Amino acid sequence: MGEITKLTLVNLVSKIKSKEISALDACSDYVNRIVKSKKLNTFVTETLEQAISFAKKIDDNNLKEGILSGAPIAVKDLFCTKNVETTASSKILKGFVPTYESTVTSKLWERGAVLLGKLNCDEFAMGSSNETSAFGNVINPYKVNDENIVPGGSSGGCSAAVAADLTVATVGTDTGGSIRQPAAFTGIVGLKPTYGRCSRWGIVAFASSLDQAGPMTKNVSDCALMLDAISGFDEKDSTSANTKKEEFLKNLNRNIKGLKIGIPKEYIVDDMPKEIQDLWDKGISWMKESGAIIKDISLPHTKYALPTYYIIAPAEASSNLARYDGVRYGFRASGKDLNEMYENTRSLGFGNEVKRRIMIGTYVLSSGYYDAYYLKAQQVRRLIKNDFDLVFKDVDAILTPTAPSSAFKIGEKKDDPISMYLNDVFTVPINLAGLPAISIPAGFDQSGLPLGLQIIGKPFDEQTVLNSAYALEEKIGFKSQVKDWWM
Amino acid sequence: MADNKFDYYLDGKTGKWEVIIGLEVHAQVTSRAKLFSGSSTKFGSDPNTQVSLVDAAMPGMLPVINKFCIEQAVKTGLGLKAKINRFSKFDRKNYFYADLPQGYQISQFKFPIVGEGEIVLDMPYGTKVVGIERLHLEQDAGKSLHDQDPENSFVDLNRSGIALMEIVGKPDLRSPEEVGQYVKKLRSIMRYLNTCDGNMDEGSLRADVNVSVRKQGSQQLGTRCEIKNVNSIKFMQQAIEYEAKRQIDIIEDGGTINQETRLYDTKKNETRSMRSKEDAHDYRYFPDPDLLPLVLDSEFIENIKKTLPELPDEKKHRLMNDFGLSSYDASIIISEKDISDYYEDVAKNSDYKLAANWMIVELFGILNKEGKEIKDSPVSAVNLSKLINLIKNGTISGKIAKTVFEQMVQRNENPEVIIEKSGLKQQSDPKELEIIIDNIIKNNQDKVIEYKSGKIKLFSFFVGQAMKDTAGKGNPQLINNILSKKLK
């Protein structure tokens, strides 16, 4: 025992299906590790007892049909889970227990996965370090000189939990990089699918036109399997795409010979550490070795992506978060009249970063400012999308670093929102364009922290993204350096 | 009728004033489910029993457009002879209120589903065409209840998310009378189309009324005030009258009108300021990112066009051209769907012209007296058509018919049965009548001589005698004929 939690999702499920490992043993091993890993603060809510009894049920009734049979999985606390508290890591939703299950997570359970609990994240997924969570920051399983490091964000509980073997795989959400950046910071694989590939129904909304759920896993094969499990059209989400069901794991292969990979010059940014440039160069040579054709490309509007994102995302958030008013569910602070109740509830219920974004969003939508900010941002968003449409006539995928730095120390950027926002510079344009993109672990910096490379694909061409990542993964030969120091 | 001239001008100290009115009508779409959720829209259910997760704005819930509501809006647009926009968008109108669970109302701001159209009004001074600016779809809010508890307010979300059509009229109306006709005509069109039941007391139809005034003859529009949420035609008319006079007084006293939103107090019959333009909400409209733009193909619109019923204006022309009804009678018959349906039921089995006469004179007389709507008519359409047929085939006279009708009103009985029971059948046997008339002539020789010497007025005396001797049942036409012959 003990080695079960090292297994990949694909291997674990196949061993459970062949009865080499029981679902109960798999679950128990994860439960044991979770109990010993409180220091990392990855879980907001644990459902360990239910997990054990559900795993037993799988064994007793031989429920081994599902493609995730017996896989112990914790999910980001942004997914509404029936009868299990769902908080979006915010005080304002403390105590909220949904009577419904999000489409994405219900697909997990339908396919045999076992819920371990809900994973910490930035409050309402607003953050890049998991430091905005109302329930404390998550700690990266990687450590530098005994100093605690952020796990990235907003899906920081997810990334840390996968890296620390506290869940065999997970689903996060990605609005501006919230799956890929934490994946890069913790040495795991994270995929943001095409906007519309996975249903948003039942996911606490941050920015509706950008939010997308996606897998975070130990490797690329697991990622393909998870995408098989969670993707698909949902009539309850008007923005979900009615495309044919694909089989990503079945079609996963490393043959990328002749595939044209674009290298955008605009992604070389000031102050980017040399080791990231070096890693990118290595990525390019690995791609070449695999038979891909490298092309220099230009995405001229890249520099506008971050400001555009920080208008559109807060604008949508300011409206999406209006429903947390203390009237129907969640936290309520009393007041002498309705307005005072609203003010008290929202002042005490939301954290600073969420308030900051609500204020920015309210401002950019206000009459007199709408045209200059929100409307302009929508126009620029179109130009950014056009940039990608144009280059995708010449290339099949694009290779970039995932983030301009490795994970930073806890507290390092907490009081400097702009420098925090800059961490999303390579991931944000992809959300604005609605494209699929994966981050895979590609090496370490000098201090031993993992670094990621990002592969961006055409809309609904996750298969090419996965195949390129699969080829690159073999060349990289990444090995986790997590040392279980907290146990 | 065209002799009557429009003359609604209000007298002020400085002369006559014209009143300019534009209406924004909120009409509840007839639909079993809400605009973006599957919840029921039934009226009068227990509080919060028709609320889905979407209507309560639970975290992660998403709206899905109800296609039927789209069809209803398009249908209404076609009924208003309006442009149907193949591309429209849903926007969020953001504001906080306890009965607005999402913190925003989904509405259509920049790109409404229906564009410009028109409504034709029949006024005593001729027809008047009133422009429609646009029609858009939006969600209704819930209801706050402040009178249930001394400490707390309660919220009922049954209405939350119900589909409304906001029909924005151009400022083409000039009098309370025109406003009344406008609302009635709009309601009638929607009832013909079955797109809104128009029940004002259930809140299915209500209006925001925009009022401004200007000196008679002036071409410039004055500053307007908007009177919010008025839910009866009578109140709209009273509110307009009050508001126009208030504005005239202010201007004539040297003041200016502040653009503002006002409330109409039905008890005191006055309007009161609710909020000024400066305090107006900034609704921060933006396209709802949860919904894709609504794109309608021409086939969708054509298919709806094919299902359109005959509308009031078309029906009026048909009644006038094909059945010779007067413009006045036709207008009354088509004014409401229920009246028109009743009329069709009566007329198709009897006579179009007689049916119109009987309904307008006799039936409406009774309904007005008893304060009833046509749907509660004490006389069924079937029985009224039977009565008309009895007149037509000479079984009873028009006079007797009125007596029979009175009895029908008492207990909606088949007129044939009433006639049979009361022996009211018309005496139409010429031989019998001749005997009676011969007797009258024999017994009144003096009158006959007077008549023959030129006192022709006496003819009605003989008719009267004949009716008396037949207990009122003699066929008047036959009596006339026989008398004319005998007295020659």
Q: Which residues of B touch A370 (CB under 8 A)?
A: 284-286
pLDDT in tens, A164-192: 999 999 999 999 999 999 999 999 999 99
Q: Which of B380, B402, B422 is the last residue of a domain?
A: B422
- Pick the residue of B286, B288, B292, B294 with the most A CBs within 10 A to test the interface with A by mutation: B286
Same domain, B444 and B479: yes
Helix (H, G, I), strand (E, B) or coil at B349: coil
Q: Which residues of B touch A88 (CB under 8 A)?
A: 59
Q: Residue A155 in contact with residue A172, Cβ under 8 Å?
A: yes
A324 closest CA partner among B5, B443, B57 = B57
pLDDT given for residue A2 in this prediction: 55
Same domain, B416 and B472: no
* CA–CA gap between residue B21 and residue B68 (Å, rounded): 32
B103 CA to chain A: closest CA distance, Å?
Answer: 5
pLDDT in tens, A106-117: 999 999 999 999
Same domain, B55 and B83: yes
Same domain, B398 and B443: no
* CA–CA gap between residue B226 and residue B208 (Å, rounded): 6
- Pick the residue of A89, A344, A363, A365 with the most B CBs within 10 A to test the interface with B by mutation: A365
A285 in any annotated domain: no
pLDDT given for residue B3 in this prediction: 59
- Pick the residue of B62, B67, B154, B285 with the most A CBs within 10 A to test the interface with A by mutation: B62
pLDDT given for residue B13 in this prediction: 94
Same domain, B348 and B236: no
B288 CA to chain A: closest CA distance, Å?
Answer: 9
* CA–CA gap between residue B469 and residue B437 (Å, rounded): 9
Closest-CA residue of chain A to B102: A323
Is A240 among the residues known to form the active site?
no
Listed in sequence order, the residues at least 6 apart from B157 whose beta carbon sits closer than 8 Å to its beta carbon are B48, B50, B51, B55, B56, B99, B101, B142
Work out how many CB contacts closer than 8 A connect A with B.
97
pLDDT given for residue B453 in this prediction: 87
* CA–CA gap between residue A126 and residue B192 (Å, rounded): 52
Q: What is the CATH number of the domain that holds A445?
A: 3.90.1300.10
Q: How many domains does chain A have?
A: 1
Q: How many of the other CB atoms lie within 10 Å of CB of A265?
A: 11
B5 in any annotated domain: no
* CA–CA gap between residue A141 and residue A161 (Å, rounded): 8
Same domain, B188 and B72: yes
Per-residue pLDDT tens, chain A, 487 aa: give them.
459 999 999 999 999 999 999 999 999 999 999 999 999 999 999 999 999 999 999 999 998 899 999 999 999 999 999 999 999 999 999 999 999 999 999 999 999 999 999 999 999 999 999 999 999 999 999 999 999 999 999 999 999 999 999 999 999 999 999 999 999 999 999 999 999 999 999 999 999 999 999 999 999 999 999 999 999 999 999 999 999 989 999 999 999 999 999 999 999 988 888 999 999 999 999 999 999 999 999 999 999 999 999 999 999 999 999 999 999 999 999 999 999 999 999 999 999 999 999 999 999 999 999 999 999 999 999 999 999 999 999 999 999 999 999 999 999 988 888 888 888 999 999 999 999 999 999 999 999 999 999 999 999 999 999 999 999 999 999 999 999 999 9
* CA–CA gap between residue A406 and residue A149 (Å, rounded): 10
* CA–CA gap between residue A77 and residue A123 (Å, rounded): 10
A207 in any annotated domain: yes
* CA–CA gap between residue A166 and residue A307 (Å, rounded): 36
Q: Which of A90, A133, A159, A178 is catalytic?
A: A178
Q: Residue A220 in contact with residue A440, Cβ under 8 Å?
A: yes
A35 in any annotated domain: yes
Q: Residue B26 in contact with residue B206, Cβ under 8 Å?
A: yes
Tokens at B429, concatenated: 């046997």
**Degrees, nearest 5: CA angle B359-B362-B365:** 105
* CA–CA gap between residue B387 and residue B417 (Å, rounded): 11
B92 in any annotated domain: yes
Tokens at A391, concatenated: 């280059």
Helix (H, G, I), strand (E, B) or coil at A44: strand
Same domain, B350 and B235: no
Tokens at B171, concatenated: 């400022």
Same domain, B199 and B141: yes
DSSP string across A210-221 = T-EEEEEESSHH
**C-beta atoms of B58 and A329 within 8 A:** yes
The ipTM assigned to this model is 0.96
Same domain, B61 and B166: yes
Q: Which residues of B touch A328 (CB under 8 A)?
A: 56-58, 101
Q: Exposed/middle/buried for B227, CB within 10 Å: 0-12, 13-18, 19+?
A: buried
Helix (H, G, I), strand (E, B) or coil at B459: helix
Same domain, B299 and B339: no
* CA–CA gap between residue B73 and residue B196 (Å, rounded): 10
pLDDT given for residue B486 in this prediction: 86
**C-beta atoms of B286 and A322 within 8 A:** no
Listed in sequence order, the residues at least 6 apart from A135 whose beta carbon sits closer than 8 Å to its beta carbon are A41, A44, A87, A89, A120
Same domain, B380 and B416: yes
**Degrees, nearest 5: CA angle A199-A200-A202:** 110
B1 in any annotated domain: no
Same domain, B295 and B415: no
**C-beta atoms of B286 and A315 within 8 A:** yes
Compute φ and ψ for A117, nearest 5 degrees: 155, -170
Listed in sequence order, the residues at least 6 apart from A270 whose beta carbon sits closer than 8 Å to its beta carbon are none
B60 in any annotated domain: yes
Q: How many domains does chain B have?
A: 3
**C-beta atoms of A374 and B286 within 8 A:** yes
Listed in sequence order, the residues at least 6 apart from B442 whose beta carbon sits closer than 8 Å to its beta carbon are none
* Containing structural domain, residue A83: 4-261+393-476
pLDDT given for residue B143 in this prediction: 93
Listed in sequence order, the residues at least 6 apart from A336 whose beta carbon sits closer than 8 Å to its beta carbon are none
B7 CA to chain A: closest CA distance, Å?
Answer: 42
Q: Which residues of B touch A79 (CB under 8 A)?
A: 60
Q: Which of B374, B396, B422 is the last residue of a domain?
A: B422
Q: Residue A181 in contact with residue A192, Cβ under 8 Å?
A: no
A441 in any annotated domain: yes
Beta bridge partners of B126: B123
pLDDT given for residue A258 in this prediction: 98
Among the partner residues A102, A204, A238, nearest to B290 by beta-carbon distance:
A238
* Containing structural domain, residue B471: 430-486
Could you give the C-alpha distances from A252 to A134, A228, B311, in angstroms and in order? 39, 11, 62
* CA–CA gap between residue B78 and residue B193 (Å, rounded): 10
**Ramachandran assignment for B288, one of left (phi > 0), alpha (psi -120 to 50 degrees), beta (any other):** beta
Q: Which mean pLDDT values do the consecutive 10-residue runs of chain B (488 residues) have? A: 78 96 98 95 93 97 98 98 98 96 97 98 93 98 91 93 98 97 96 95 94 95 95 96 97 95 94 83 96 97 96 94 90 90 92 92 92 91 93 83 90 86 78 88 89 87 88 83 86
How large is the C-alpha radius of gyration of chain B?
A: 30
Is A154 among the residues known to form the active site?
yes
Residue type, B220: Q
Q: Residue B37 in contact with residue B55, Cβ under 8 Å?
A: yes
Tokens at A388, concatenated: 């990608």
pLDDT given for residue B1 in this prediction: 41
Among the partner residues B56, B96, B291, nearest to A325 by beta-carbon distance:
B96
* CA–CA gap between residue B436 and residue B473 (Å, rounded): 13
A70 closest CA partner among A108, A118, A119 = A108
Q: Residue A199 in contact with residue A107, Cβ under 8 Å?
A: no
* CA–CA gap between residue B234 and residue B226 (Å, rounded): 17
Q: Which of B280, B304, B328 is the last residue of a domain?
A: B304
Dihedral of alpha carbons A473, A475, A478, A479, sign:
positive
Q: Exposed/middle/buried for A349, CB within 10 Å: 0-12, 13-18, 19+?
A: buried
Closest-CA residue of chain B to A371: B286
Compute φ and ψ for B215, nearest 5 degrees: -65, 145
**Maximum Cα–Cα distance across chain B:** 101
Among the partner residues B97, B102, B291, nearest to A238 by beta-carbon distance:
B291
